[in-house]
Amino acid sequence: MSLPSELPPRQEIGVIGWVRKNLFSSWYNIVLTLVAAYLVVTSVGPLLNWVFLEATFTGETAADCSGEGACWLFIGQRLNFFIYGFYPDALQWRIDIMFGLLAVAFAPQFIERFPARKWFGIFGLTGLPLIGYILIPGGWFGLEEVPSSRWGGLMLTLILAYVGILAALPIGTVLALGRRSDMPIIRGLCVVFIEVWRAVPLITVLFMASVMLPLFLPDGVNFEKLMRALIGIILWQSAYMAEVVRGGLQAIPKGQYEAASALGLGYWRKTGLVILPQALTLVIPGIVNTFISLFKDTTLVLIIGLFDILGAVQSTITDPAWRNVTTEGYVFVAFCFWIFCFGMSRYSQNLERKLDTGHKS
């Protein structure tokens, strides 16, 4: 005969147990908990007040922003400008289509069981840029042309990041393969390219592209500032991407190369079928990390006078018609960036779990 097992002492389980174990287990934890609790209590209240309770959300003019809280009305009134820049009102449907397609291509990637989601992804990487290339600048099929000087806001940020990311990955992969090549000339060129571009800050690249390059070009060969910035970003980013991919290539055991050769595969088939698929999956976190940092780095185009979302906000927060709306503007920009960067990082975690590259199991 055995006694029925007793529950553990009340202090050890449930909420009390958890609190004791995690928050008050030793004197310094008690101090830290109290300090943290104090900070939370004193800051959350005013923050909530500022963001929601006393904030102005509706109204028509600057005069409606009289409350103590944030003036979100300003963001609301300028939202169109922050998203589309100077893109003509009547043609903004084109950008809306692009936003829609972007969502269609990438939203399924977050849903594990979505049918044919791979094809949506492939569309996002091939069809989407192609449609964008036709739709956004116009000038094709009777679409009215919109010069790049009228692009701006969130749309421009996304274009810069998307094109940068899309072009940098293949170029970077080629450079990484070239750097590990047996052919001395190719290897030398790749090393020089990578090291030169990696050794300069993006801000310098952009500055050169915008200030120096036009002086070297002959009259009339004036290609647009956006184009110059984009090429700069792509070249710079692909050097970084090359190093990330090289990390993956180096992590592949030599046996894989030898096994592939033993099967009679030539260089291209060996690389394409055996090495790259393994190498790229290994470095997904690194690749996404580079993308996230590029996405944020696009704000540097501010210094060459392109109105990305940060530039658009900065150019309008000085409007004397409104009271000081600097904080609201920057909070809005931070929020936009957080959404995209958080999305990217979630996606990479998702992918990693599925591909199981951490060798956890």
Partner 1 sequence: MKKRLSLVAVAATLAGTLMTGNVLASILDDVKSRGHVQCGVTTGLPGFSQPDDKGNWTGIDVDTCRAVAAAVFGSADKVQFTPLTAKERFTALQSGEIDILSRNTTWTLTRDTSLGLNFTGTNYYDGQGFLVSKKLGVDNAEQLDGATVCIQAGTTTELNLADYFRTKDMKFNPLVFDTSEQTVSGFAAGRCDVLTSDRSQLAALRSKLEDPSSAIILPNIISKEPLGPVVRQGDDQWFNVVKWALFAQINAEELGVTQDNVVEMKSSENPEIQRLLGTTGDMGEKLGLPADFGFRIVQTVGNYGEMYDRNVGPDTPLGLDRGLNALWSNGGIMYAPPVR
Task: Say whether residue 139 binds partner 1 (CB under 8 A).
Answer: no
Nearest distance in Å: CB 189, partner 1 = 7
**Which is nearer to partner 1, 188 or 277 (by Cβ)?**
188
Q: What residues contact residue 68 under an 8 Å CB cut-off, 6+ apart? A: 49, 50, 54
Of 121, 84, 116, 78, the closest CA to residue 101 belongs to 121
Q: Where does this chain touch partner 1 (CB under 8 A) — which range of 42-50, 103-111, 145-153, 231-239?
A: 145-153
Q: Where are the alpha helices (DSSP H) in 183-253?
A: 184-198, 202-207, 213-216, 225-251
One-letter amino acid of 126: T
Task: Say whether residue 214 binds partner 1 (CB under 8 A).
Answer: yes
Residue 71, classed as helix, strand or coil, is strand
What is the contact mask toward partner 1 in residues 160 to 189, using x (rule: CB under 8 A)? -----------------------------x
Of 318, 341, 342, the closest CA to residue 330 belongs to 318
Place of tokens 């501010």: 302
Q: Where does this chain touch partner 1 (CB under 8 A) — which range of 96-104, 244-252, 289-297, 321-329?
A: 321-329
**Which is nearer to partner 1, 33 or 92 (by Cβ)?**
92
Residue 192, classed as helix, strand or coil, is helix
**Local structure of residue 53 (DSSP, 8 states):** I
Q: Where are the alpha helices (DSSP H) in 55-201?
A: 72-84, 92-106, 117-125, 127-135, 153-179, 184-198
**Which is nearer to partner 1, 292 or 308 (by Cβ)?**
308
**Which is nearer to partner 1, 233 or 283 (by Cβ)?**
233
Task: Say whether residue 89 binds partner 1 (CB under 8 A).
Answer: yes
Q: Among residues 73, 288, 304, 336, which is the contact residue for partner 1, using CB under 8 A?
A: 304
Place of tokens 């004193």: 42
**Which is nearer to partner 1, 222 or 349 (by Cβ)?**
222
Q: Among residues 72, 84, 120, 162, which is the contact residue for partner 1, using CB under 8 A?
A: 84
Distance (Å) of CA 300 to CA 149, 211, 237, 242, 306: 17, 14, 14, 22, 9
Task: Say whether residue 6 binds partner 1 (CB under 8 A).
Answer: no
Q: Where does this chain touch partner 1 (CB under 8 A) — which range of 6-14, 164-172, 289-297, 316-324?
A: 316-324
Neighbours of 69 (CB within 10 A): 18
Task: Say whether residue 222 binds partner 1 (CB under 8 A).
Answer: yes
Residues of this chain that interact with partner 1 (CB under 8 A) are 77-78, 80-81, 84-87, 89, 147, 149-150, 152, 189, 207, 210-212, 214-222, 225, 302-307, 311-312, 314-321, 323-324, 326
